[in-house]
Amino acid sequence: MKDFIENLLKCLNSEPDRETADHENRIMCRRLLLTGAFACLISLACSLISRNTISYSALLGAAGFWVIGSLFLPDREQPYKNATRILEVISVLILFLTAYVETSANRDQPLFVIILLLTVIPALIMDRPRKLLTIILLLFGITAFLSFISSPADIFTQNLNRLIPACFVSCVFCCYTAHNRIQMVKMHKTVRQISERDPLTGILNRGGGSLMIRDCIAQQISGTFVIIDVDDFKSVNDTYGHQHGDAVLKKVADTLKSSFKSTDIVMRLGGDEFVVYVAGMADYQVAQSRLKTLVDHLHQIPVYDEPGNCISVSAGAVINEGSYPDYGSLYKAADNCLYKAKEQGKNCFVLYDVSYKETDDK
């Protein structure tokens, strides 16, 4: 019993990531509303078959569910703002209307549908278990009150005998379900972050960074693509050892992270090569100034604890205004710029401001 109470308190204190919760709840909201619409249509069809009459309440319910649900179907790429609150409001309304209809229409019959929905629907919501607990207890009180004022004393007693265990089961089931969903999302997020990160430097690795850049290209987000290579890095490893070389790479990664915004993509391509995609930076003068500042900052990283003994880097950069069709073509253009920077004696950068079609002429 003690372990059960400790686990329940642990579940109640779970806290989901708000953005993830809104994303999951918006999907669930669409499904719930469309399920309600189809249920009303089935009820309408049954009334036509059995009684040869139109059930206007079922028709109105189907139309209402369909109209509200259609608001969540388009623009799936839009931010999922307030989806959790919307799903909670819709769930409460559905349960309240179900309780009202069942207690009013079947006063001489014990409750059944509302008890089933009271157990299932709150479990669809991904939110803090404490909040779900409050919603369930509120709906339990409302349903019990509606039954008290609508049903005979013996039926009310039967309803109460059904509602109390159903409320308990719903509280435990929903709390554990919400807790497990939150923990699963956190685990997947952690695994994804680990798989996308370079273990040495902590920035994005080749797989994670290139995937994000591909998304930018697919969405035609303009920006500047930069390849950075540490000059003569092999001599650093040969002279001072790989452990010291790793320390230099960490300092390069830290400098890159501090030189760009969190929305920019910074990744380690492999070895001593790094890539940056500065989203939104499509002006040649601005890009040239930023690259000069970046190269100067990287040139201040010491190779060893000796005055004036610092690394140098070469960089190749291309401004993408939306003409590059894929990651490969953008990388090839920037790599050509890096090659030209190496030809010019290293410790410099070369920047192209040309469209994809013009790169063959360079």
Task: Tell me the catalytic residues.
Answer: 272
Q: At what angle do helices 18-51 and 153-196 cross, to 10 degrees?
A: 140
Torsion of CA 319, 324, 328, 330, to 10 degrees: -10
Q: Is 268 exposed, middle or buried (0-12, 13-18, 19+ CB in 10 A)?
A: buried
Distances (CA, A) of 147 to 98, 106, 152, 250: 12, 10, 9, 67
Inter-residue contact 132 to 122 (CB < 8 Å): yes
Residues in the chain: 362
Burial 70-86 (b: 16+ CB within 10 A, else e): eebeeeeeeebeebbeb
Spatial CB neighbours of 112, under 8 Å, sequence gap ≥ 6: 102
Inter-residue contact 16 to 75 (CB < 8 Å): no
Distances (CA, A) of 240 to 235, 244, 248: 8, 6, 11
Structure tokens at 333: 């253009």
Distance CA 122, CA 173 (A): 9
Distance CA 344, CA 37 (A): 68
Q: What is the DSSP secondary structure assignment for residue 93, as one 8-state letter? A: H
SS3 297: helix
